[in-house]
């Protein structure tokens, strides 16, 4: 998974959604320019076939440790640049912001909901088979 806040330019500098280093204690978000470059130079278009015969992307955008503004910006930029897999977890506390970004790109006609994969991780506390809906 590619983390929204963990990309550096060729000089090793990180930047947030407006191109500046983050000074709020959170890792910087992926800028649209760096994201486009990453997609162009990666195998982000490869997919995996699931046991139900559906295909899903092998590479997605991770959203760990990003603030609300950065998550919304990174998710929107990712979807607009070809990403269709967004990863989160219950402990990230950013599902609402991911939802906001997805709602906006759908409203803009960029993508349909059925074309996106939103993956999440649940803590082991909730991982028993009887607690997981199949």
Q: Which long-range contacts (CB under 8 A, 24 or more apart) does 7-14 make?
A: 7/34, 7/35, 7/38, 9/34
Contact by Cβ (8 Å): 22, 70:
yes
CA 117/CA 93 separation, integer angstroms: 18
CA 22/CA 51 separation, integer angstroms: 41
Q: How far is CA 30 from CA 54, 61, 82, 95, in A?
A: 28, 10, 14, 18
Give catalytic status of residue 38 as yes or no. Answer: no
Catalytic residue among 92, 94, 102, 105: 92
Indicate which residues carry an active-site annotation.
92
């Amino acid at each position: 998974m590619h983390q929204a806040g963990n990309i550096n330019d060729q000089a090793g500098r990180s930047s947030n959604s407006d191109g500046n280093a983050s000074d709020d204690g959170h890792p910087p978000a992926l800028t649209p320019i760096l994201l486009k470059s990453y997609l162009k130079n990666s195998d982000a278009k490869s997919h995996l076939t699931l046991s139900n015969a559906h295909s899903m992307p092998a590479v997605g955008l991770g959203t760990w440790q990003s603030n609300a503004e950065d998550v919304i910006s990174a998710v929107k930029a990712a979807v607009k640049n070809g990403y269709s897999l967004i990863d989160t977890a219950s402990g990230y506390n950013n599902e609402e912001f991911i939802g906001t970004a997805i709602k906006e790109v759908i409203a803009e006609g960029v993508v349909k909901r059925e074309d996106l994969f939103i993956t999440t991780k649940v803590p082991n506390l909730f991982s028993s088979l009887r607690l997981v809906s199949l």
